[in-house]
Amino acid sequence: MRAEAVGVGAGVTTATPAIRLSVLDRSRTRQGQDPPQALRDTVAFAQQAERLGYHRFWVSEHHGVPGVAGSAPTVLAAAVAAATTRIRVGTGGVMLPNHQPMVVAEQFGVLASLFPDRIDMGLGRSVAFTDGVRRALGRDKDAADHFADQLAELLGYFDPAPRARTGVRARPAEGLHVPAFVLATGAGADIAADAGLPLVVGGFRNEDRMLAALDRYRTRFRPSAQAAEPYVVVSGSVAVAGTAEEARSLLVSEAWSSAYARTHGEFPPLAPVPEILAREMSPRERTAYEAALDGHIAGTPQEAVADLRALMEHTGADEFLVTTSTYDRVALLDSYRLLAAAVRPEPDLTGQ
């Protein structure tokens, strides 16, 4: 059940459902910026998100991508947690097929020991996108097929009974409670349901597929020590500004990076909006760019929140993970500020 926020209008106090908002930041690089600056920006962004009352701040895992500096999420999560005090910190996610489950358990055990009751373990089943990176990681395309077994092994290392792991113990993870989430890709929703774990799913691109996955997840869900009932986090971009046109412009840089990746095979750093709008795109680039601009929430605070509420009601989601990124960091932070203020007039400082 979602929390209640109290709003006052015309002298009448009314209760409206509050949307639990969280952040996923991929440490996107920008033209003219080196990766170390992108990582420092992520840490500063987490501090700002905490002040704005966002519930979680997650970082991601990408390997060999020119436009993304976030390659080691547990390391970056440690820096974020050290620079903040209340906001939950986690990964969105660690791509479990790229790692040995025992090592992942040890990493999160260290994080949870240093920052108790603040660490989330978001887990995905994707593998690296190129053959070269997969070879460097010692993995192949089929690694994702073993995700369910890897997940069970990983969770077992937190079990205080070593019998569950034939005597192998992962310290300091053993006996710790670290909330685990499954990022839904392919069979991810079914795996999350069978394991009794919260589910994170993208909310815009293919609505029918998403709703079908949510139905299966809720029907198939088996209560566990991690979660007594289904818990759904929907993720996506939400751009907010003074006008709908300004809000839509915030989507341009990411849309172009996505279009370029689809047409050239490389995901580039974020470029300034005027440069992109002045660019002579090929027909193939233009088609990919227009497609990448669609399927997001963008508008004034009132418009964006109305669309977001409709999405949350339609999906029955418990939480929304905002993934917006753009070239202009000032405009980006303003978007997050406007969204938080529109959803919840006063920042949530409880840390719950």
In the structure, what pLDDT confidence band is assigned to residue 114 with cuts at 50, 70 and 90?
very high
Residue 129: both structure tokens together: 């996108």
Residue holding tokens 């989507």? 251
Residue 108 belongs to a domain with what CATH number? Answer: 3.20.20.30
End-to-end distance of the chain based on CA atoms, in angstroms?
14
Phi/psi for 179 (5° steps) reads -55, 130
Highest mean pLDDT among 59-63, 174-178, 266-270, 331-335: 331-335
What pLDDT does 187 receive? 78
Indicate whether 166 belongs to any domain.
yes
Q: What is the mean pLDDT of residues 251-256?
A: 96
Indicate whether 198 belongs to any domain.
yes
Indicate whether 282 belongs to any domain.
no
Indicate whether 29 belongs to any domain.
yes
pLDDT digits (tens, 9 = 90+) for 185-220: 667 899 999 999 999 998 666 778 888 889 999 999
Task: Tally the domains of the chain.
Answer: 1
Cα–Cα distance, 341 to 76 (Å, whole number): 27
Q: Which residue has the higher pLDDT, 82 or 267?
A: 82
> Percent of the chain scored above 90 by pLDDT?
67
CA-angle at 230, arms to 226 and 235, nearest 5°: 100
pLDDT digits (tens, 9 = 90+) for 91-102: 998 988 888 999
Phi/psi for 326 (5° steps) reads -155, 170
Indicate whether 154 belongs to any domain.
yes
Indicate whether 330 belongs to any domain.
yes
Rounded to two decimals, what is the model's pTM?
0.89
What pLDDT does 20 receive? 95
Which residue type is seen at 237? S
Indicate whether 294 belongs to any domain.
no
Residue 168: which domain range?
4-8+16-238+301-343
pLDDT for 288 beyond 50: yes
Indicate whether 59 belongs to any domain.
yes
pLDDT for 37 beyond 70: yes
In the structure, what pLDDT confidence band is assigned to residue 165 with cuts at 50, 70 and 90?
low
Residue whose C-alpha is closest to residue 325's, from 16, 15, 30: 30
pLDDT for 70 beyond 90: no
Residue 199: both structure tokens together: 């589910």
